[in-house]
Amino acid sequence: MIIGGGTAGITVAAQLRRKDESLKIGLIEPSEKHYYQPAWTLVGAGTFDFKKTERNEKDYIPAGVDWIKDFAKSFNPEENSVSTKGGSTYTYNYLVVAPGLVVDLSLLPGLKEAMETDSVGSIYTDPEGFWKKLQNFKGGNAVFTQASTPIKCGGAPQKIMYLSEHYFRKKGIRDKVNVIFATPGTVIFGVKEIAKTLSKIIIDRDINLKTYYAPIKIDGVKKEITYRFTNSHLQNCAMVVDNKLGEDIVGESEIKMKYDLLHLAPPQRAPDFIIESPFSYQDGPNKGWLEVDQFTLQHKRFENVFGLGDVVALPTAKTGAAVRKQAPVVVDNIIKLIESKTLGNKKYEGYSSCPLVTGYGKMVLAEFKYNNVRDSDPIISKFVDTNKEQYSMWLLKKYGLPFMYWNLMLKGRA
């Protein structure tokens, strides 16, 4: 049984069918539509058609897989069963949990109301809407930020920032704009080779980088966002405040910033039925997220349960590229358990990649594994320095990766 018909669930189902057509596979997924979300950054910058990111879910359910069009509701691992909102109960021999995550605007006070204004938007929820707001922007503070929760595609908040900055130059209003990237993180990017490239871009394009900025509330009427400054080594946050950007200290460690355009990667969390299940971490920093071994992706307490994708608590980025490396590990382990009652030899080393679009026609391909160790593709790196901005990587992002996703990955071929 597979929970979730997104990237992870469909990929695993397709690979399992290719390994063994005799397997009986049920897939619980309520959605009629399937989206290629990595392109939403490009949609938000007006360089990709949103309609091309949307397709019918039914067209990608692998042949022979039983599509259960319902919501998973609860699990009973002692009886190897899952119940749905529709009132049905299904049993399984092996369970793959891959429902993704959910955006929860309520976790940041004022965000829901602010998102309804003309100056706040997000490619995570409405990329077309953000593109309209970007086009209508005339100048002032353009603030790009992200919630302190785990988020999918951690590079997206700065991708849309780079594209927007380039758009301001193309439109001829760059001299009227303060471009600000405010992040809860400690650096622009965790992989030092990539960080070096991005830091130069930040400086060369006069972008204001604000690290240790964790958003805590938004006032959509006053057009203000308040951050908690989290650098405990720098006690006086007055040292980082820039009055030219309309920043103001409003508490011992709180900074208020004015905005005229605000893009935000909203707070995200695991689905309720995962949080409330016996499969999630019950406490600690990963509370609510799916508990699995980081190398085998097998649940730490239930041997016939596996997890992958955005819902799992792993020390790596939540991306489609990560799923592409996770799926074969899950599939191999399940096949080997069926055949010999032992796990396979494949291990997930934490690989993920982030196609960092740095402008129209430019991209840096960041590839890494656990501990932020660079992990470049051996073939691509022979021909292209993926640490540097490349037009070829832009072509890969805009044309190559969508083709691979729809025609190879979801078909179990990549």
> Does position 351 have pLDDT exceeding 90, yes or no?
yes
Catalytic residue among 25, 151, 153, 308: 153
Which residue among the candidates 68, 354, 365, 409 is catalytic per the annotation?
A: 354
The pLDDT assigned to 235 comes to 60
Report pLDDT for 149: 97
At 15, the pLDDT band (50, 70, 90 cuts) reads very high
**DSSP β-ladder status, 102-103 and 268-269:** antiparallel
The three-class DSSP label of residue 261 is strand
Asked if 2-101+270-345 and 105-265 have one fold, the answer is yes
pLDDT of residue 342: 95
Token pair recorded at residue 144 = 């790009």
The whole-chain average pLDDT of the chain stands at: 95
At residue 377 the predicted structure's pLDDT band, cuts being 50, 70 and 90, is confident
Rounded percentage of the chain residues whose pLDDT exceeds 70: 98
Decide if pLDDT at 174 tops 70. yes
pLDDT surpassing 80 at residue 234 = no
- Structure confidence at residue 243 as a pLDDT band (50, 70, 90): confident
Confidence of residue 224 (pLDDT cuts 50, 70, 90): very high
Q: Which fold has domain 105-265?
A: FAD/NAD(P)-binding domain (3.50.50)
Among the four given CATH numbers 3.50.50.60, 2.40.100.10, 3.90.650.10, 2.30.110.10, the one describing domain 2-101+270-345: 3.50.50.60
- Identify which has the larger pLDDT, 219 or 252: 219
CB 25 within 8 A of CB 335: no
Q: Convert the pLDDT of each residue in 18-60 to its tens digit.
A: 999 999 999 999 999 999 999 999 999 999 999 999 999 999 9
> For 237-246, which contacts have Cβ atoms below 8 Å and span 24 or more sequence positions?
240/210, 240/212, 242/208, 244/178, 245/141, 245/178, 245/180, 245/208, 246/141
304 pLDDT above the threshold of 80: yes
Residue 379 has pLDDT above 70, yes or no: no
Section 163-185 average pLDDT: 98
Q: Where are the domains of the chain?
A: 2-101+270-345, 105-265
Q: What is the pLDDT of residue 44?
A: 98
How far is residue 261 from each of residues 75, 116, 144, 278, 374, measured CA to CA in Å? 43, 13, 8, 42, 34
- Provide the b/e sequence for 328-361 (b: ≥16 CB within 10 Å): bbbbbbbbebeeeeebbebebebbbbbbbbbbbe
Least confident of 201-210, 302-311, 338-347, 385-394: 385-394
Active site annotation includes 237 = no
